Copies of this chain bind each other. A is one copy, B any other.
């Protein structure tokens, strides 16, 4: 019932007009000229529109079923998964040594947005595998890489991440899953893990679980944690599948959304596992994947909202209701389309200006990760700083965007058949998993701000400052540079407040952490919009590109600067109110 149009032109603008991908000097990027990336994005779009999107509602309606210990995915998922694999999409940005295509991460992210928009729950089977692939790629022994990676690159085997237990999520120091060393160097893993996305299913021959557990001798808390590879089926020396390992699905969770993905309770009952990375350094191994995983969830947050917005636009153009207050726009018809009404416009512009800014920020972040992969420590530091912002801000606003889109439909938005409810329900999880957004805010303020002596946040401010200086006397000064400067000043004032007050009372900083994350998000999107404005203005002045598209880009950016960026003032005022209003009450008073 819903439509989806892959935003290829907008991605091309971000990749080439703004990021200037093929001229970025990174190895392998020189081939990524506009024609090549367009071909990739078009092909991804074709798969998304023809195969994945039609299964989105099917997955929501049917959900997954647990039958005699085996998880069955919704009708059609197996065929679609084969199409995904056959098209080489699971291997796009993987290492050629293990069968990957060696594309940069930014292309994995761009195609990822398209696949998530078409069918988020479906795409998670591949997404989780990619995360597990990255972990083994970064920390595995050569033998482990040879054993697991080729099959995971092709998604013949999929992967999972097992962190959460019933009594602990954020605070992994509490975890109870045990790893007992065996004489042959392997471990026996025993314990229960919950909320395991893609924990089991019928799409692949094997499932490679990465499991956090405590091995003897590591000490209390997170220090004692190690990471283990625990395959569903043991792998023989020749690479063939052996006997079933001691891991089973305890139950399938009944969730608010992403019904098409199997969220499992996993029981480990002396399952055989192999250490991945160093003993008692499991948390560090997890953290190296965190930036990518969290950027991936930030991407989900806004990608979910892309089709929601597109459907809202289609409905607003189609549905006639009332008359434009400035005179009938459709005098031959019984009424005017919704899109003539200012408040519908306000909603659509909120959605559009957020989504295009979010896409730019995510692709920019992915590009920074690519730079980091190529040894640029500053880029890595910058994206590490921005990661909680990308995850927390984009998922909060992405969810809000799905709600706005649903609202355009009036009563029909509340009826499941129309599909708008699913976007809202699916998007909701992105604010929770991979570190709930409050934890992102804590990571930002409690950890990232001061990291490496505060070097990265200073670098961010310097970057914005020099950009503003460069374009401080240009055609975009009034509309973009001035508001960006003001917003960035609010962010600096907030950071200063934390430094001054947080030393004496950490609660003064942490009480404002969530507002700081959003304040940072607005400044980051404002900065992205300013860069897009420069690119659009430049192309317009040069007479290159599609003038109508470029003018729309500028108008959309102006909307963001005028109507979204003023939120920085409110966030700053909240932050400056400090800990007292937040912490005053005794727990009993709630």
Chain A interface (Cβ < 8 Å from any Cβ of B): 164, 168-171, 173-174, 194-195, 253-257, 313, 316-317, 320-322, 325-326, 334-335, 337, 339, 341-349, 352, 399, 403, 406-407, 410-411, 413-417, 421, 424-425, 428-429, 431-433, 436-438, 441-442, 446, 505-507, 510-511, 513-514, 548, 552, 555-556, 558-559, 562-563, 566-567, 569-570, 573-574, 577, 579, 581-585, 587, 589-590
A511: B residues at CB distance < 8 A: 342-343, 345-346
Bound-complex Cα distance A403 to B256 (A): 12
Give 10 A-B pairs besides A171-B322, A326-B506, A566-B574 with Cβ atoms closer than 8 angstroms: A174-B335, A254-B417, A256-B421, A342-B513, A407-B431, A425-B425, A552-B585, A562-B577, A563-B574, A567-B570
A428: B residues at CB distance < 8 A: 403, 406, 414, 424
Mostly, the A contact residues are helix
A537 to chain B, nearest CB (A): 16
Cβ-defined contact, B585 with A555, below 8 A: yes
Bound-complex Cα distance A256 to B420 (A): 9
Q: Which residue of B lies closest to A441 (CB)?
A: B343
Cβ-defined contact, B581 with A573, below 8 A: no
A577: B residues at CB distance < 8 A: 562-563
Cβ-defined contact, B570 with A168, below 8 A: no
A422 to chain B, nearest CB (A): 9
6 CB contacts below 8 A, A to B, read A254-B417, A342-B583, A343-B514, A345-B583, A407-B437, A563-B577
A261 to chain B, nearest CB (A): 12
A417: B residues at CB distance < 8 A: 254
Bound-complex Cα distance A242 to B107 (A): 70
A257: B residues at CB distance < 8 A: 414
A505: B residues at CB distance < 8 A: 326
Cβ-defined contact, A415 with B585, below 8 A: no
Cβ-defined contact, A514 with B346, below 8 A: yes
Cβ-defined contact, A321 with B168, below 8 A: yes
Cβ-defined contact, A256 with B325, below 8 A: no
A170: B residues at CB distance < 8 A: 321-322, 410
5 closest Cβ pairs, A-B complex: A566-B573, A342-B510, A256-B421, A562-B577, A343-B438
Bound-complex Cα distance A54 to B390 (A): 40
Bound-complex Cα distance A581 to B168 (A): 47
A127 to chain B, nearest CB (A): 17
Cβ-defined contact, B587 with A414, below 8 A: no
Bound-complex Cα distance A222 to B552 (A): 38
Bound-complex Cα distance A334 to B167 (A): 11
A169: B residues at CB distance < 8 A: 321, 410-411
Cβ-defined contact, A410 with B436, below 8 A: yes
Bound-complex Cα distance A168 to B411 (A): 10
A461 to chain B, nearest CB (A): 23
Bound-complex Cα distance A432 to B326 (A): 25
Bound-complex Cα distance A429 to B424 (A): 13
A194: B residues at CB distance < 8 A: 411
Bound-complex Cα distance A433 to B414 (A): 10
A431: B residues at CB distance < 8 A: 407
Contact of A573 among B313, B442, B446, B569 (CB under 8 A): B569
Cβ-defined contact, B587 with A339, below 8 A: yes
A403: B residues at CB distance < 8 A: 399, 428
Q: Given A342-B582, A414-B429, A431-B407, answer yes or no on A566-B555 (Cβ-Cβ < 8 Å).
A: no
A133 to chain B, nearest CB (A): 24
Q: Which residue of B lies closest to A431 (CB)?
A: B407
Cβ-defined contact, A579 with B342, below 8 A: yes
A555: B residues at CB distance < 8 A: 581, 584-585, 589
Q: Given A352-B590, A407-B431, A585-B555, answer yes or no on A342-B507 (Cβ-Cβ < 8 Å).
A: yes
Bound-complex Cα distance A566 to B317 (A): 35
A574: B residues at CB distance < 8 A: 562-563, 566
Cβ-defined contact, B570 with A582, below 8 A: no
A579 to chain B, nearest CB (A): 7
Bound-complex Cα distance A83 to B446 (A): 53
